[in-house]
Amino acid sequence: MYFMEDTQVARTIQLNDGARMPVLGLGTWKSSHLPRTSLQGAVEAAIAAGYRHIDTAYCYCNEVDIGKALRSKMQQGIIRREDMFIVSKLWCTHHAPEDIPVCLNKSLKDLQLDYLDLYLMHFPVGLKKMGDELYPKKDGRILTSDIDYVDVWKGMEALKASGKVKSIGVSNFNILQLERLLTMCTVPPAVIQVELHPYMVQTDLVEYCKSKNITLTAYSPFGSPARPPELSTGDTDPHKLLEDPVVTEIARKHRKSPAQVLLRYHVQQGIVVIPKSDKPHRILENTKIFNFNLTEEDMAALRGLDRGWKACVFEDIKSHPYYPFV
Ligand SMILES: NC(=O)c1ccc[n+]([C@@H]2O[C@H](COP(=O)([O-])OP(=O)(O)OC[C@H]3O[C@@H](n4cnc5c(N)ncnc54)[C@H](OP(=O)(O)O)[C@@H]3O)[C@@H](O)[C@H]2O)c1
């Protein structure tokens, strides 16, 4: 395994461009509904607990609060900018060449930063630009664009060349899309962020990325129990991963929580993981994953839960030719 022997929570993995990325990060999606001070408090609690990696996105509308937390901890002398690994994402409404730097600059301004450690293309499908609308619609239907994600990637490469982002990657791409991108790009993606957990194992994608030296980040490691209905399958979440008897039994055996087992499952495979919580006690609980090992039998039992079930499917854009989850 290619971990550095550094402090546990800030343990890093080397990317294909030489940068190092902490294997555990704080997810922040759906934190924007919180009272303004709460997300700031959650990020500050995470930094106090040792997290050095924060995952956000333009479309989460929460970067101002994350920026305040980072600034406050830097002013207190607890962290320096170079200690942190900050990830944001280019939103689908900004796929046109002239809009790509606009999206990044807004994130940088809100985060009060002059560079990002990693910038991801959030989705291979573009959405029509209509003012500041995140999900532009007409007559109730979402409006997509036909901009090719390979062209968007050229804009991402330009951002890396400008120094405003240190590493670039993609999110929600399938193998065919990755393969096409790899044949046409100058800079290969350093990271791909996708949904991964025992109900969505994606062995082919994981193996493919490892063979191409692209680091995986697992999003929604608990199956995103609080996801908004418009991004889900529309059902009432019949799949409660944190309560699955296989997961709870492995947790009992190791005297760990189900959440810790689900996080350990990734880091033990060399996969970065970004659980979201805005509760300080859970933020801390989610760091205690570096002092135990799942056995081969545990790993096999967890993989055996696979049912190709995705929490985040973005149903509205299903008919687009670049829709990745087919
Ligand atoms: N690239 C993409 O398209 C994409 C899509 C989805 C997510 N993401 C990223 O991945 C991050 C994580 O995914 P997610 O937010 O969808 O869901 P998740 O991390 O799978 O689940 C978060 C939920 O689990 C709860 N939770 C956290 N720690 C827990 C623990 N120890 N025990 C029990 N419950 C716990 C949280 O509640 P509390 O907050 O109340 O603790 C929250 O409701 C996101 O926040 C975002 O940064 C990216």
Per-residue pLDDT of 65-83, as tens digits, reads 999 999 999 999 999 999 9
Distances (CA, A) of 284 to 6, 33, 108, 277, 288: 18, 22, 27, 10, 7
Rounded to the nearest 10 degrees, how much is the dihedral formed by the CA atoms of 283, 194, 167, 59?
-70
Higher model confidence: residue 2 or residue 313? Answer: 313
Higher pLDDT, 239 or 134: 134
The token pair at 282 is 């859970």
Please tell me the pTM assigned to this model. Answer: 0.96
Q: What is the pLDDT of residue 30?
A: 79
Out of 51, 60, 199, 323, which one is annotated catalytic?
A: 60
Q: Is the confidence at residue 32, as pLDDT, over 80? A: no
User: Is 326 within a domain?
Assistant: no
- Which residue would you say has higher pLDDT here, 220 or 326? 220
Asked if residue 9 lies in contact with residue 51, where contact means CB atoms within 8 angstroms, the answer is yes
Please state the rounded mean pLDDT for residues 305-309: 94
Q: Are 125 and 320 in contact (CB under 8 A)?
A: yes
pLDDT of residue 38: 87
Distance 311 CA to ligand 1 centre (A): 11
Pocket probe for ligand 1: among 26, 90, 222, 241, the residue whose CB has the most ligand atoms within 8 Å is 222
- Count of domains observed in the chain: 1
The CATH number of whichever domain residue 155 belongs to comes to: 3.20.20.100
Q: Is residue 3 part of a domain?
A: no
Structure tokens at 107: 């994130």
Report pLDDT for 5.
40
**60 catalytic per annotation:** yes
Residue that wins the pLDDT comparison between 326 and 34? 326
Which stretch of 36-45, 58-67, 106-115, 145-154 has the lowest confidence by average pLDDT?
Answer: 36-45
Q: Give the mean model confidence (pLDDT) for residues 7-24.
A: 92
Q: Which residue has the higher pLDDT, 248 or 4?
A: 248
pLDDT on residue 4: 43
CB of residue 288 inside a 6 A radius of ligand 1:
no
| Ligand 1 center–CA 286 separation, angstroms | 11
Averaged pLDDT score across all residues of the chain:
93
Structure confidence at residue 6 (pLDDT): 44
What's the rounded Cα separation, in Å, for the pair 254 and 98?
Answer: 52
Which domain range does residue 247 map to? 12-317
The per-residue pLDDT for 226 is 81
pLDDT at 35: 60
Whether residue 106 lies inside any domain: the answer is yes
Q: What is the pLDDT of residue 187?
A: 98
Q: What is the band of 158 on the pLDDT scale with cuts at 50, 70, 90? A: very high
Among 55, 277, 283, 286, the mutation site with the greatest number of ligand 1 atoms within 8 A of its Cβ is: 277
28 pLDDT band (50/70/90 cuts)? Answer: very high
With cut-offs at 50, 70 and 90, classify the pLDDT of residue 9. confident
CA 219–ligand 1 middle distance (angstroms): 8
- Asked if the structure places residue 233 within a domain, the reply is yes
Q: At what angle do helices 63-75 and 100-111 cross, to 10 degrees?
A: 40
The pLDDT value given to residue 238: 60
Q: Is 322 part of any domain?
A: no
pLDDT at 37 (0 to 100): 58
- Smallest Cα–Cα separation from 174: which of 313, 15, 11, 326? 326
Summarize pLDDT for 160-175 with one digit per residue, the tens: 999 999 999 999 999 9
Q: Kindly report, residue by residue over 199-244, the tens digit of the pLDDT.
A: 999 999 999 999 999 999 999 999 998 877 655 555 555 678 999 9
Q: What is the pLDDT of residue 7?
A: 60
For residues 169 and 35, the model is more confident at 169
From ligand 1's centre to the CA of 234, what distance in Å?
18
- Report the percent of the chain where pLDDT is more than 90: 89
- Report if residue 85 sits inside a domain: yes
| 193 CB near ligand 1 (under 6 Å) | yes
Nearest to 266 by CA among 217, 305, 308, 312: 217
Residue 242 CA, closest ligand 1 atom number: 33
Tokens matching residue 243: 């309560």
CA angle, 324 as apex, 317 and 54 as ends, to 5°? 95
Q: Please report whether residue 6 resides in a domain.
A: no
Average pLDDT over residues 46-54: 97
Strands 144-145 and 126-127: antiparallel
| Any domain includes 7 | no
